[in-house]
Amino acid sequence: MWYVPDASKDAKLIYGLGKNCTEEEVRTAIEQGTLMNYLQQVPVKKDDLFFIKAGTIHAIGAGVLVAEIQESSNLTYRLYDYDRVGKDGKKRELHVDKALEVANLSSSAEPRQSLRVLKYRKGVASELLTRCKYFEVYRMLVNTERRQTVHYHADEVAFRVLLCVNGCGTISFEGGNITFYKGDCIFVPADSEVLSIHGQVQFLDVRG
């Protein structure tokens, strides 16, 4: 899942293919440096959400900041790398054969932003962003007054991760507190004690 905390004007990302392709067509395009002609470029703006199924060719364009939530895997197959070179002057390794074994080469429907509904309670609002068998993600907006706090805890089923995508604040627990800022990621163990959150902040609340 990609959530876009920020994006510049006219920013785009790659989401699948613009038309059905054969493996041979893709290989030829990679060799000739024309792969971009086959990829679907999608305009993005702040707060957009994209759920990307395994096998979908995807890439982040210039001027796009994304928070990526995924199943427990760091496996990436690189089809193309814009002919960039690293600090050592060499291009990064491509994994064309392995990628084409698993890539979906059918055209992808242009992703549309689904309706999202915020639910409010005192000091906090939340909305479900996505749910699949590997994870579920909520967007949580905390806005507390000087003495007000929002209570939060992880149940016995799984840990939680709070990713701060905007704002700042503090999380208090028995024996101390943590100050957090935009970009910080907070791990909350399963069956946690009740935490108190104070501040003006937007989280991605990730449940494994």
Q: Which of 78, 92, 116, 131 is catalytic?
A: 78
User: Is 131 one of the catalytic residues?
Assistant: no
Residues 142 and 123: their CA atoms lie apart, in Å, by 6
> What is the SS3 string spanning the chain?
CEEEEEECCCCEEEEEECCCCCHHHHHHHHHHCCHHHHEEEEECCCCCEECCCCCCCEEECCCEEEEECCCCCCCCCCCCCCCCECCCCCECCCCHHHHHHHCCCCECCCCCCCCCCCEEECCEEEEEEEECCCCEEEEEEEECCCCCCEEECCCCCCCEEEEEEEEEEEEEECCEEEEEECCCEEEECCCCCCEEEEEEEEEEEEEC
Catalytic residues: 78
